[in-house]
A and B are shown apart, each in its own frame.
Chain A
Amino acid sequence: MTPNTPQPPTRSIADLLFLPEVERSLLNWLLRQRSATLSELVAYLSQTPEAAELLLEGLMAEGFIKLSEKNGELSYQPRLITRVGRQVPSKIWDALEN
């Protein structure tokens, strides 16, 4: 990715609840699988590879999934990774941690 390419937004799992049904169901399924190849996703979606790729590209652009390579095989994985830290004055945290 070049420096000028816009980074997809960081998503929390709560964002998944606001997706349309098809995308949400796909992500629910992918979370349970942990990762899936394009052919596995096409089989799950019962769509053409072109239609499935379009859907996956949209979810990647929105930051919900990522494409990874393992042993020469590409697979899609959920990218719902963040539990953001709480915003509390640092002196309170420091007092608790020490």
Chain B
Amino acid sequence: MSQIISVHSFRGGTGKSNLTANIAVAVASQGKRVAIVDTDIQSPGIHIIFGLDEETFSYSLNDYLWDKCSIEKAAYDVTSELKTGNGSTADLSGTVYLVPSSLKAGEIAKILREGFDVGLLNDGFQELTERLNLDYLFIDTHPGLNEETLLSIAISDAMVIILRPDRQDFLGTAVTLEVAQKLDVPEILLLVNKTPPVFDRNTVMSQVSHRYGVPVGGLFYENEEMLELASSGVFWLHHPDHPFSQEVHAVAKKIIG
């Protein structure tokens, strides 16, 4: 039975797309068939992490929403694009597909100007799951709340909420949780990202968990290696022994259950 997992943060800059890419690829490394859909139509970018650019893909989620192509035409098998730190192709036992959103200014403007049929997104998620025989579909959402984000949350089997240990993130996360609970999301997992190294792991996890009454699935520290990689790849493939990477695998195992 396939699972839809939406990944959300109330505010921007939490490292949502990087964590989504890392966790999805870690799930695929367990022999799973995984797809990521970039529904962050207003500010897309996760395809950069997978080495795709506007020249390498013909169709995007925008084209599907404009009825120019089927959803699987906009899905790219990026498994062979995944590189390790020495530049060799990663040896994954599963498969990773990516449905990118367009990074062309005119196409972003067009979709904001004209709107789109949100119901088509729901159909697209289901069709993609069936036609690609997926085990997991990850939805990289736009920060904050809008229609496509609300839909993604509403149809999810599980939701991952990413926050930084920051007062503004804490308040925003409370809003997201309230919405997720109103939309009957069966399972919610909090991930604390960009934690300053001076913060104690157990104290932060305990505070966050206590504050929201929701389990904290992982805590990630800020690190220089991530800054140096600068979204040019999937971090754990480049730094497999790094504590960040170990935490990514721990979260992936929790998701697989």
Bound together? yes
Bound complex: CA A9 to CA B114 (Å)? 19
| Interface pair B106/A17, CB less than 8 Å apart | no
Q: What residues of B have a CB within 8 angstroms of the CB of A31 in the complex?
A: 122, 151, 154-155
Q: How many angstroms between the C-alpha atoms of A32 and B6 in the bound complex?
A: 14
Task: List the one stretch of B20-28, B46-54, B68-76, B177-185 in contact with chain A.
Answer: B177-185
The SS class assigned to the B binding surface is helix
**Chain B residue nearest to A17 in the complex (CB):** B182
- Chain A residues contacting B112 (CB-CB under 8 Å) are 85-86, 88
| B228: Cβ under 8 A from any A Cβ | no
A28 interfacial by beta-carbon distance below 8 Å = yes
Given A13-B154, A96-B105: A34 in contact with B147 (beta carbons within 8 A): no
Interface residues on B, range: 20 to 34
- Inter-subunit contact A28/B184 (CB<8 Å): yes
Interface size on A, residues (CB 8 A): 26
With both chains docked as a complex, state the minimum distance between the C-beta of A1 and any C-beta of chain B, in angstroms.
20
Closest B residue, CB atoms, query A92: B109
CB atoms of B154 and A28 under 8 A apart: yes
Q: Are A80 and B106 in contact (CB under 8 A)?
A: no
Cβ contact of B150, chosen from A14, A81, A85, A86, cutoff 8 A: A14
The docked-state distance in angstroms from the alpha carbon of A14 to that of B114 is 18
Residues A85 and B114 in contact, CB atoms below 8 Å apart: yes
User: A residues within 8 A CB of B115?
Assistant: 82-86
- Which chain A residues in 1-34 approach chain B with CB under 8 Å? 12-14, 16-17, 24-25, 28-29, 31-32, 34
Whether the Cβ atoms of B151 and A93 lie closer than 8 Å is: no
Minimum distance in angstroms from A47 CB to a CB of chain B:
18
Give chain A interface residues in 67-98, CB to chain B under 8 Å: 78-86, 88, 93, 96-98
- A98–B110 alpha-carbon span in the complex (Å): 10
CB distance from B147 to the nearest CB of A (A): 4
Residue B148, interface by CB 8 Å: yes
A78, B179: Cβ atoms closer than 8 Å: no
What A residues does B113 contact at CB under 8 A?
Answer: 85-86, 88, 93, 97
Enumerate chain A residues within 8 angstroms of B114, measured Cβ to Cβ: 85
User: Is there a chain A Cβ closer than 8 Å to B229's Cβ?
Assistant: no
- Give A14 Cβ to nearest chain B Cβ, in Å: 6
Give min CB distance, B220 to chain A, whole Å. 30
For the complex, what is the distance from the CA of A86 to the CA of B108, rounded to whole Å? 12
* Distance from A45 Cβ to chain B, minimum over Cβ atoms (Å): 14
Contact with B along A20-63 (1 / 0, CB 8 A): 00001100110110100000000000000000000000000000
Whether the Cβ atoms of B154 and A24 lie closer than 8 Å is: no
Interface residues of A (CB under 8 A from B): 12-14, 16-17, 24-25, 28-29, 31-32, 34, 78-86, 88, 93, 96-98
- A and B contact pairs by CB, cutoff 8 A, 19 listed: A13-B150, A13-B151, A13-B154, A14-B150, A16-B154, A17-B179, A17-B182, A17-B183, A28-B154, A34-B122, A34-B126, A80-B118, A80-B119, A83-B146, A85-B115, A88-B112, A93-B109, A93-B113, A96-B105
Show the binding face of B for A, using Cβ within 8 Å.
105-106, 108-110, 112-119, 122-123, 126, 145-148, 150-151, 154-155, 179, 182-184
